[in-house]
Amino acid sequence: MPALTTYSTKIIPDWVDYNGHLRDAFYLLIFSYATDALMDRLGMDSNNREASGNSLFTLELHLNYLHEVKLDADVEVHTQIIAHDSKRLHLYHSLHLVGDDKELAGNEQMLLHVDLAGPRSAPFSEETLGKLQAIVAQQTDLPTPDYIGRVIALPPKK
């Protein structure tokens, strides 16, 4: 199975800079909406958050800008679960023109399941873990994305 398509949108004028390109902040907005859609797919929608008192918080993310995205482009986000444990979810979003495999941007995220009453970390429900495991099982043949586990640094001086 390919990565899940979690979100699609058209690039609108308010998102475009003076060069006619998608502003860097709006890449993250698009990826944020994809994370929301994944949460819905895992049964962690607004009704569940209200009933359970739990949600996902972003602990860390990395964003790689790979190719220009321009006004009126129709784009979609593909989402791959890299790993998870009882409380954390490591995922990768990639941005594409609709129907195209070429990756325009990549976004690696580490998310934490949180009891909002604390707030403090909390284990996923059995239902959510089951849904995560089902997605992982469907994605076993996917290659590891090129843009995960990266570190920002200048090369050491010689």
The CATH number of the domain holding residue 45 is 3.10.129.10
- Per-residue confidence (pLDDT) for residue 3, from 0 to 100: 80
In a domain, 83, yes or no: yes
d(CA 114, CA 56): 6
Q: Where are the alpha helices (DSSP H) in 42-144?
A: 46-52, 126-138
Q: In whole angstroms, give the CA distance from residue 152 to residue 155.
A: 10
* pLDDT of res. 129: 96
The predicted pLDDT at position 50 comes to 86
If you search the block for the tokens 């791959």, which residue do you land on?
Answer: 80
Burial class (CB in 10 A: 0-12, 13-18, 19+), 31: buried
- Segments in the chain below pLDDT 70: 1-2
The answer to whether residue 31 is domain-embedded is yes
pLDDT digits (tens, 9 = 90+) for 64-110: 999 999 999 999 999 999 999 999 999 999 999 999 999 999 999 99
Q: In this predicted structure, what is the pLDDT of residue 45?
A: 87
Domain residues for the domain of 23 are 4-138
What amino acid is encoded at 149 in this protein? G
For the chain, what is the domain count? 1
Specify the pLDDT at position 10: 98
- Domain-embedded: residue 104: yes
Q: Is residue 41 part of a domain?
A: yes
